[in-house]
Amino acid sequence: MSSDVSATPTPATESTADIVIMGAGAAGISVAASLRRRRPSLSITIVDPADTHYYQPAWTLVGAGEFDAARTARPMSSVIPNGVTWIQAAVTAFAPDHQQILLSDGRRLGYRYLVVAPGLQLNWEAIDGLTDTLGRNGVTSNYRFDLAPYTWSLVRDFKGGNALFTQPPMPIKCAGAPQKAMYLSAHTWRQNGVHNKTKIEFHLVAPALFGVKDYIPALMEYVKRYEISLNHLSHLRAVDGERRVARFEIFDADGQSQFVDKPFDLLHVVPPQSAPDVLRASPLADAAGWCEVDPATLRHARFANIFGAGDAISAPNAKTAAAARKQAVVVAENLLAAMDGRPQPMHYDGYGACPLTVEHGKIVLAEFGYGGKLMPTFPLDGTKANRIAWMLKKYVLPKIYWDVMLRGREWLAQPSRPGHR
């Protein structure tokens, strides 16, 4: 259940809790709410420095003029579940052998169980010149709250020219979001009569348009309809905003590369992403920097009193809010079982969802689990564009997020139990 608006951060004093949750994003809040619903007597502390909680899946719609940015942000105090303590600080180090985390305010916080749910780190500075020009010179990104409205202003007022859209190496949060922005922009330009004066290019590092092959035919129909030039194995390396030139490193099949400068009138950038630096440098990380968990139980591979959820874990699922919705239930059930000395009762099946907005009013609803197994929730053919999925994305899912998922109401979120598929 969500807290009242009077919730305030706890001052920095030494303390311990039954359960400490690192991160107050979709995964962290959902885990806390699910735990509170199951066992209200637990002392739970969430650690997060942010003062605002965002519904990030709607930023694609904000960038297309379909959603009000203000409706995607709420005070963090309003989403912290009742009875949960919030410490407004960052985690600076992990000490799992001592069952403690170190905080940016200098304190040590002890725990019986720890849930690691910090989300992803967006590495804007990894692209030379990008931070100097974001939000001006036609350079934008729907991956930032303050920039999604700028995306719409650029798209709405576009008179033609070169429009470049980029996608960095995987994994990233919502792997379909880079092309969602492209399709919605292209559809707007067709409606505004400037499509025939526009050259659209999609530069993506991946060798395939989407990670699950079943959805590619429907997406390719729109690539052809909008006359989009696909450029695979293409890395954005630098941006010169004043000159409006983007530099790409493009690889061939043999791994050889060359640098190519592309002029642009609009550049939509998705930055490289990783686990947060504090996690990457910690004993909890695997070789790639992710919180190393069992992909089924979401329990840490080496520390039995640590669980992980959300975008920063090592499980090979799509990093989406829909995944966090399912993971929260698995972590809540399995953590309580661990506390009670019982076997792990729940298995996460890798479920994730990516509503691919291919035009205003239509979506290819990609729902899949581990290994690319299709896992539709509704009786819809998600491999084809449809209007019902658009209605879900724009009108239903935001309400489910704020009023159901963050309050521990686990609608359509029950995972599988071992042996019961």
372 found inside a domain = no
Of the residues 272, 287, 320, which one is the last residue of a structural domain? 272
- Is-catalytic flag, 354? yes
Question: In this structure, is the dihedral angle defined by the CA atoms of residues 11, 17, 22 and 25, taken in order, positive or negative?
Answer: negative
User: Three-state DSSP class for 354?
Assistant: strand
pLDDT for the residue numbered 202: 98
174-202 residue pLDDT tens: 899 999 999 999 999 999 999 999 999 99
Are residues 243 and 168 both part of a single domain? yes
DSSP 395: I
Report the greatest alpha carbon distance in the chain. Answer: 66
* Spatial separation of the C-alpha atoms in residues 216 and 50, rounded to whole Å: 37
* Domain-located, residue 185: yes
pLDDT at 221: 98
Q: Which residues of the chain have pLDDT under 50?
A: 1-6, 11-13, 421
Q: What are phi and psi of 232, to 5 degrees?
A: -80, 160
Q: What are the tens digits of pLDDT across the range 377-410?
A: 988 899 999 999 999 999 999 999 999 999 998 7
Residue 289 belongs to a domain:
yes
**Could you say which of 272, 300, 321 is where a domain stops?**
272
User: ω before 169 within 30° of 0 (cis)?
Assistant: no
Is 109 in the same domain as 137? no
Report pLDDT for 409.
Answer: 87
Which is catalytic among the residues 84, 117, 184, 354? 354
DSSP for 235-303?
EEEEEETTTTEEEEEEE-TTS-EEEEEEE-SEEE----EES-HHHHTSTTB-TTSSB-B-TTT-BBSS-
In a domain, residue 332? The reply is: yes
CATH code where residue 339 lies: 3.50.50.60
- Chain segment 274-311, per-residue pLDDT in tens: 999 999 999 999 999 999 999 999 999 999 999 999 99
DSSP-derived 3-state class of residue 414: coil
CB-based contact 108:102 (threshold 8 Å): yes
Number of domains in the chain: 2
Range of the domain at 133: 122-272
Please report the pLDDT score of residue 8 as a whole number.
52
In a domain, 314, yes or no: yes
Q: Are residues 60 and 148 in the same domain?
A: no
Q: And the tokens for 249?
A: 């490193």
Q: How far is CA 147 from CA 95, 133, 269, 325, in A?
A: 37, 12, 11, 26
Query: Is there a single domain that holds both residue 257 and residue 155?
Result: yes
pTM: 0.93
Catalytic residue among 44, 174, 269, 392: 174
Cβ atoms < 10 Å from Cβ of 204:
24
Q: Which of 245, 272, 299 marks a domain boundary? A: 272
206: left (phi over 0), alpha (psi -120 to 50) or beta: beta
Q: Does residue 109 sit in the same domain as residue 208?
A: no
Tell me, yes or no, whether 32 lies in a domain.
Answer: yes
Instruction: Please tell me whether residues 110 and 137 are part of one structural domain.
Output: no
Same domain, 23 and 114: yes
**Looking at the structure, do residues 40 and 94 belong to the same domain, yes or no?**
yes
Whether residue 367 is contained in a domain is answered as no
> Do residues 308 and 267 share a domain?
no
Residue 126 and residue 242 in one domain: yes
Verify that 198 and 282 share a domain, yes or no.
no
> Would you say 180 and 360 are in contact if contact means Cβ atoms under 8 Å apart?
no
Shared domain check, 266 and 126: yes
Please report whether residue 378 resides in a domain.
no
